[in-house]
């Protein structure tokens, strides 16, 4: 048996629960990291190769993200071992079995993540009475459809631009990834006068220094086609998005896309992180040293979880947008001001801010 206490520190994890129901083939792990700020909110990931370490790292990331966003929630995460593309009836059985098994873990509120969606959350809610990211008929706010994270990212950029003296009107944007985060960020930035000069998906990059038609690209993606099928612009390989000359480079796809071996190719003034951990720590430091303003993921992409929290409190879509706008603007400014005055990496400042909030909340609890 491995000693899992080795991954523990002063913040958590509070509990690691392994679930096994051989009759339905269920193997799952739930990590409740820290609940000082409130019941943990965190996604349910379904993938064939998930580990307790990964689950813990994701739960800890939620502790920081929720605390940084000022939400009354701690961090947690769960993983279910399985292929998310399994037949729907099988998936329903597995998700319902998982939900029954976590029914009494009252301080964990599940949400959708890779491999699960609002339908899965409806099954969880049916079994346990609690879940976020629900279908609208159950009071859910469709955060990906309305672009909650992209909206928050645009608000973050609107504040961050002041720190580099960038006018958003005609600012050149490149988006790596044109899914829920990337396309909506482009749309909201377009409404503020910014110009999308390049966008990429797994099939390639489409670029045009004079500006792409954002709505046409979104419409194209909605028909299930790739960006390279757009009838205008230059078509390049997916990786070529890294070389595009721009003012704002938005990672909105996968982790670790910018590393020590390719960071020198970026030609941008700002990287607001839509994706989670899109940069390795070395690459992030290199960008900072080069004067590129990096807004860390858990500050810039918190729109989704703020929306989920408002949904949980029974709030409306309007309330979610207001809360995202206010919280992300306040946090972005606080982090960038302190980073500028202390000459510290924005991530270090953001982490310290989240830690301060969690520590302060821990002081209010009985077992402090």
CB of 226 to ligand NAD, least distance (A): 8
77 is catalytic: yes
- Token pair of 154, please? 């645009």
* Residue at token pair 């086609």: 225
In the complex with ligand NAD, the residue whose CB is nearer, 162 or 215, is 215
Query: Of these residues, 77, 125, 183, 221, which one is catalytic?
Result: 77
CB of 251 to ligand NAD, least distance (A): 8
Residues in the chain: 368
Q: Is 133 left (phi over 0), alpha (psi -120 to 50) or beta?
A: left
| Rounded CA separation 181/193 (Å) | 19
In the complex with ligand NAD, the residue whose CB is nearer, 26 or 309, is 309
| Rounded CA separation 104/74 (Å) | 17
198, 230, 250 from 213: Cα distances, Å: 10, 10, 17
Closest residue to ligand NAD, judged by C-beta, is 179
In the complex with ligand NAD, the residue whose CB is nearer, 105 or 149, is 149
CB of 152 to ligand NAD, least distance (A): 9
CB of 187 to ligand NAD, least distance (A): 13
Q: Using only C-alpha atoms, what is the Rg of the chain?
A: 20
Q: Which of 287, 237, 236, 283 is nearest to 261 (CA)?
A: 283
| Rounded CA separation 226/204 (Å) | 8
CB of 365 to ligand NAD, least distance (A): 28
1, 288, 320, 354 from 307: Cα distances, Å: 40, 30, 5, 19
In the complex with ligand NAD, the residue whose CB is nearer, 275 or 287, is 275
In the complex with ligand NAD, the residue whose CB is nearer, 12 or 177, is 177
In the complex with ligand NAD, the residue whose CB is nearer, 96 or 183, is 183
Number of helices (H), then strands (E), belonging to the chain: the values are: 12, 12
| Rounded CA separation 18/28 (Å) | 6
Q: Map residue 249 onto helix, strand or coil.
A: strand
Asked if residues 155 and 324 have their Cβ atoms less than 8 Å apart, the reply is yes
CB of 179 to ligand NAD, least distance (A): 2
CB of 62 to ligand NAD, least distance (A): 11
In the complex with ligand NAD, the residue whose CB is nearer, 286 or 301, is 301
| Rounded CA separation 56/85 (Å) | 24
Q: What letter would DSSP give residue 5? A: G
Residues that bind ligand NAD (CB under 6 A): 143-144, 149, 176-182, 200-202, 238, 252-254, 274-276, 301, 304
- Token pair of 162, please? 């002041």
Residues annotated as catalytic (active site), given as ranges = 77
């Amino acid at each position: 048996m491995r000693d899992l206490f080795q991954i523990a520190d002063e913040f958590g994890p509070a509990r690691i629960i392994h679930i096994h129901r051989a009759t339905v083939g269920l193997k799952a792990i739930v990590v409740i990291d820290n609940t000082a700020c409130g019941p943990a909110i965190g996604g349910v990931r379904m993938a064939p190769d998930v580990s307790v370490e990964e689950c813990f790292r994701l739960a800890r990331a939620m502790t920081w993200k929720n605390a940084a966003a000022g939400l009354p929630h701690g961090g947690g995460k769960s993983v279910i071992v399985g292929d998310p593309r399994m037949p729907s009836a099988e998936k329903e059985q597995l998700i319902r079995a998982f939900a029954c098994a976590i029914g009494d873990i009252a301080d964990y509120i599940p949400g959708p993540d890779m491999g699960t969606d609002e339908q899965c959350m409806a099954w969880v809610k049916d079994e346990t009475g609690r879940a976020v990211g629900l279908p609208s008929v159950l009071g859910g706010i469709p955060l990906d459809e309305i672009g909650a994270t992209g909206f928050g990212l645009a608000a973050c950029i609107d504040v961050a631009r002041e720190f580099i003296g960038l006018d958003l009107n005609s600012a050149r944007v490149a988006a790596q990834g044109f899914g829920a985060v990337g396309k909506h960020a482009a749309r909201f930035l377009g409404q503020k006068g910014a110009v999308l000069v390049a966008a990429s998906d797994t099939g390639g990059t489409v670029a045009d220094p004079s500006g792409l038609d954002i709505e046409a690209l979104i419409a194209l993606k909605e028909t299930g086609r790739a960006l390279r099928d757009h009838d205008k612009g230059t078509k390049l390989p997916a990786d070529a998005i890294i070389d595009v000359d721009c003012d704002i480079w938005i990672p909105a796809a996968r982790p670790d896309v910018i590393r020590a071996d390719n960071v020198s190719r970026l030609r941008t003034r700002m990287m607001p992180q839509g994706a989670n951990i899109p940069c390795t720590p070395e690459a992030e430091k290199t960008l900072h040293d080069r004067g590129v303003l990096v807004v860390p993921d858990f500050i810039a992409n918190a729109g989704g979880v703020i929306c989920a929290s408002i949904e949980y409190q029974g709030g409306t879509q309007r309330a979610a947008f207001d809360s995202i706008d206010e919280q992300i603007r306040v946090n972005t400014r606080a982090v960038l001001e302190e980073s500028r005055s202390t000459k510290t990496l924005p991530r270090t400042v953001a982490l310290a801010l989240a830690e301060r909030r969690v520590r302060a909340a821990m002081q209010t609890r009985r077992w402090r």
